[in-house]
Every structure is written in structure tokens, then in C-alpha cells.
A and B are shown apart, each in its own frame.
Chain A
Amino acid sequence: MKVRLVDIAHARSGDKGDTANVGVIALTPEWYPFIRDELTLDRVREHFKGVITGDVQRYELPNLNALNFLLHGALGGGGTLSLKTDAQGKVFSTAMLRMVLEARDDVARSLHLPAAPR
């Protein structure tokens, strides 16, 4: 079953130089392990391919039911150099939430994961 990240997590993003950070937070603690297992470094790299020029780093914060991603080369030079509308990476949060994850049917049932609309 397909699950939209936007239906199971919230997020906030910010900047440090030319790097955007995106914190992804499970909407309920029960959904955190699923997000931790499925929102992998490779999948996030693939999602932002062509959007950022650098690599991605990933950190886990189980105490906050959250993951933190650093997206390097995300802001067109960053800070004052950037010509982009989102020079400070404020809306990379919802760009991340566009991701769609795959859940096994039994997992989706036991966690009551909301199915992505067709």
C-alpha cells in the first residue's frame, strides 16, 4: 500500500549556509518506527535528485519521534547569495513531505496507516 509522508508526519526546515535541514516528525509515536525504517538515506537522496547539488545526511532522534536530514547544496549558494525564492530553505519541509512510502499490507493494517488517495 502507498502512504504519503504528508499524512503521517509533520516537518520544519531551516538553513545553515548552503545547506537546508529538514526535521521530519511522526504524527503519532506509533508511526515513528515505520518512518525510521522507510525514510532511508537513499530514498531521500533519490527524491531530491535534481533539486539539490550536494549529498544528504540523516540522523535519528527516537526521543522526539523525529529524523533530521541535512540537504547540502540546496539553496543556490545560501544566505545572501541565493537568487531563489526559498533562499532560506523554509519550505523544503513540505517538499520532503511530498514523498510517498510503500507499506506492507499487514504493517499498514496494524499501524492504521492512511492510504494515499488514488
Chain B
Amino acid sequence: MTAGSSSDRIVRVASGQGFWGDWLDAPRRQVEGGPVDYLMLDYLAEVTMSILQKQKERDPAMGYARDFIGAMESVLPAVKDRGVKVIANAGGVNPVSCANAVLEMARAKGAKGTLKIGVVTGDDLLPGLDELLASGQKLANMETGESLDTVRDRVLSANAYIGSVPIVEALRRGANVVVTGRSTDTALTMAPLRHEFGWAADDWDKLAAGIIAGHIIECGAQCSGGNCLYDWRSIPDLANVGYPIVEARADGTFVITKHPDTGGRINVPSITEQLVYEMGDPHAYITPDVVADFTSIHLEPAGENRVRVFGIKGRPATDKLKVSIAYRYGFKAVGTLVYAWPDALEKAKLADRVLRERLETMGLKFEEIVTEFVGVNATHGPLEPQQGEAQEVQLRIGVRSPDGKSVERFTRELAPLVLNGPPSVTGFAGGRPKVEEIVAYWPALVDKAAVTTRVEIVS
């Protein structure tokens, strides 16, 4: 056990980023708004790794979440003067370059010697992918069962979701910043708790509690009033929304709260909405460290903007790791036009028919063409009641194809409709739609024993 694991000691982990592109001000607000021990920044979504891999192909020094450098700059005084530690999966497919960029920023800011960065690697399976396949790891698609052979030549990135172990090791070796690649979002929160409280590798209930604390805060303000449907009109001061903080105890119970004088709201409904977000089978939330049981979670109010979480149960982890593989799939484009009253929907429907006839005449090949009428059926489809006349309708039409040329030609067929299609049309100022390359997601499993993580401390 580490020192100070007495039952009333509290460790505070603050969430400062729920995805790459989240509020730039949030990390600084979290370290300045009140006491925190750790700042947790989650940058990676399912498709982020492939975007980063493409950037690394263009420039071998890239391939990590660049926003992290600015975030580190904004929290540098707190790290330097108050000992706040930072844990982030900003490393993407290049944690080493990410750490070097942070060190360079710190030097430029005159904070040389302040940072000791633990760099976690080993999640990147791409360099040894063929050896891995040859050794009998099939990496079949978890959803379809297909063999990876079908897309092997188009694979862009392959990363194992790794757990808390290497992060705990980095902290134990004295790192005050930990940069990982494809760590699970939840491990970023559980690892510092495990480190501080000395939780054993088979203390399943406490590890599960740490994972659930991580799940609650991994999407930033989405548990503290953001995107909250419950009584949304009365949620105060979203402009100044407070991001969540876990106040954890050694026994695996914790309180979710936020700094005083911030907006948003933390209550049992706001936490419950986040708990069910992206939930699968609630009995088995599988992570590299533990299988957590969401049906064991208990919530109770614990004061203003405070919710206590307790009773959490966990079970032994499996012997597999999930792997996130990204591969080149094809191309897509989506374009829009806006039709005005009267008969806006009827005009938009005619425009759709005209456009489809032209695409057909040209013999362009698409896997799918999707038409939506925004204002009529774009969010809930056929569930939306068709009553009353729409005052305006946005025609939104998208195409997907393995053939980039067909998609490119489609993007040139929308604007002509303004002059040679149905009347009362506008909203084309954005110009031609962009052709986007589709990088698709291939979830797979790999034996834990086939993945070796490493920790390097750089300063």
C-alpha cells in the first residue's frame, strides 16, 4: 500500500477534455477553479487514430492531438507551482513526438526541468501487424466475423486499447505528466486512483469503481449539465459550465462535483444520463483491467452539485484486449440546398428526383444515396408527424462509393439545380460539397499476452 491510504483521504481527478475538439478553456479552468490533484484529458474517439495515422504519414513528427500542447501551456503554472499531474491519451499514434513537443513548449516558456513525462507505448500494433496475424491472432471483425484479410492491404492503423497498468507505472516512477496512445478513456481516471490508493490488481470492486468514475467524467461536461435533457431549461449558466471532478476515497466510493461559481448542474439525473451513454450490456462493461457491473451502481445526492457514487461491483478482466483497426473504405460527399415557402417540401422532393435521374443517366455508381429533408424527417425519420406545411426545407443528399470519381462528379451536380431545377431555392453559398475519404472502423480482439506496453520517462 502507498502512504496515506487512510479512509478519509480524498484524491481529486478533474476532467478537462471530453474529445479532441472540446472546449479549449476547460483544462485551465479546471486547475484554476479550486483544488485538483490530477487533470485528465481524453482526446481519442474511435476514428481519431486513423486521422492521426494519416497525419503521421504526411509528417513523421505528427500523429498526436496538437490541442494538447496548448492545453499543457495553459496549465503549466499549476503543474509547476502546485504539483497538479496531467494524464492524457493525446499521444495518438506518436506519443514520443507528443511528449517532445510538450517539453519543447515548456522550455520555450522558461519551465525547463519542470516536467517529467511518462510516455506509454506498445498499443500501436501496425508495425508488427503481419507477424501478429502469422502468429495466429485473427483480428476478425467483432461485429461481422469477417477475416482481416479482406481489408489487410487497406489498413491504416491498428491499436490495442490498453488499461491502467502502464499509467500506474509511469506515476510510480515519478512522472507528473503521462502521455499515452490508445489507452481506454476510463483508464486515464482509474490509474491515478489505483496509484494513489494502492489498489491491488485483483481488487475488482475498487478497480470497477475507478472505471465507472472514469466513464462518468470522460465526456467532460456531458455529466455536469451539457447535453442534459433532464429539466434542461433550468440548468444555470451553461456559458460558464463547470467540468466534472471526481473526489475519490480509498474504499472505492466517490463524489462527482465541480468547482464553485461555475455553471451547469450536477445531480442524480445528470449523472444517470452520462452513465447510460454508449452503454452496451450493463452487466458487463469490459475493460482491460476489470469487468464492471453497471447494475451495481448506486447514486445519492450529497449536497449542491454533488452526487455520491457507491456500491460498485467488478469481476476479473478477460484475457483479451479490444483492438481498434482503421482501413480505407471509399469516398463520400454530402450536399445541401434550401427550399422556401410555398410548397417547400414538394420542391425539395422534385429537386431530389431530378438530381437522382441525372446521376443515373451519367451511369455513376454509388453504394448508397441518402436523401433527408431537414425540417421534416432528418432526425427522427418516419417517426416525425407529417402535419402542417413546412415553412422551409433543407434538401440534404449524400452519396457513398468506392469510386472517388463518381463522388467527385456528384459534388458538381448540386449547384446547377439552383438555375435548372425547381424554384425558390437558396442556401448554396458554401459552394461545392467536399469529397471525403472514408476511413472505416474495424473492431477486433487480441490476446493480452500478444501486446507489450512500455513506459519511458523523459524530461
Contacts and interface: CB of A to CB of B under 8 A. Distances in A.
Question: Do A and B come from the same complex?
Answer: yes
A16 to B, nearest CB: 6
Nearest to A48: B383
Grouping DSSP codes into helix (H, G, I), strand (E, B) and loop, the B interface class, with mixed when no group exceeds half, is mixed
A21 B275 CA distance: 12
A81 interface: yes
B453 interface: no
B229 A79 contact: no
A43 interface: no
Contacts of A18: 143
Contacts of A76: 368, 370
A80 B280 contact: no
A27 B231 CA distance: 10
A14 B278 contact: yes
B260 interface: no
A115 interface: no
Interface string B396-410: 101110000000000
B443 A17 contact: yes
Interface in A15-59: 15-18, 21, 23, 25, 27, 47, 50-51, 57, 59
Contact of B275 (A13, A64, A91): A64
A107 interface: no
B382 A83 contact: no
Contact of B272 (A25, A80, A93): A25
A61 B294 contact: yes
A70 to B, nearest CB: 7
A98 interface: yes
B295 A63 contact: yes
> Which 8 pairs across A and B sit closest by C-beta, in order of nearness?
A23-B276, A83-B398, A14-B278, A83-B370, A12-B273, A85-B378, A95-B380, A10-B230
11 contacts: A12-B227, A14-B277, A21-B279, A25-B276, A59-B283, A64-B276, A66-B275, A70-B280, A83-B398, A83-B399, A84-B372
Interface of A: 10-18, 21, 23, 25, 27, 47, 50-51, 57, 59-66, 68, 70, 76-81, 83-86, 91, 93-95, 98
